[in-house]
Structure formats: structure tokens, C-alpha cells
Amino acid sequence: MDINTAQVPEYLHEHQAAAYICVDENFFNSLITSGALDGTYVSYEMAGKTIDGRVITLNVFSKSKLDEWMAKRCEEPGLLR
């Protein structure tokens, strides 16, 4: 997704959301794991879909919630660490 030329949809999957807030996917995943992005996404399991016996869980992010999250970090930069 080229966020500079394309209209960004309201709901994003993980790599789109990482690109939207301009961080690499490893750092983005650490934000998810730490709980820093709680409230910006919903998770759901894909019924019948597994990898190595584990059910696949997808996270769908809200662009507007990511905007709010990033605006707060811009006001208080230390929150991003």
C-alpha cells in the first residue's frame, strides 16, 4: 500500500497499519504485544484456519483510532517508548 498516493481505507490489516503510522513491522508487533495499541484494533479467529495446529488470529485496525493514538504520542513523545 502506498499511503502517499492511495486513499487509505478505514480498516487496515497489520502491515498496512504499521506503514500507516510509519514504523517497521517488528516494532509494530512489539507495540501490539506490549498492549500499547489496545483500543486501536479488534482481533478475531479465522474458523477452521490453522498454522502448525494453532488457530490463525487476525487483527484489524481502525485508521481513526490509530490517528488518535499517534496524535497522543505526538503530544507526549515519551509514550512511544
Domain range summary for the chain, segments of one domain joined by +: 11-80
- Above 80 in pLDDT, residue 6? no
Compute the distance between CA of residue 7 and CA of residue 27 in angstroms, rounded to an integer.
24
Compute the distance between CA of residue 76 and CA of residue 81 in angstroms, rounded to an integer.
11
Residue 69: partners with Cβ closer than 8 Å, 6 or more residues away: 21, 37, 39, 40
- Above 80 in pLDDT, residue 81? no
Q: What is the pLDDT of residue 4?
A: 53
pTM of the model: 0.77
Residues 15-66: pLDDT tens digits?
999 999 999 999 999 999 999 999 999 998 887 777 888 888 889 999 999 9
Q: What is the pLDDT of residue 32?
A: 95
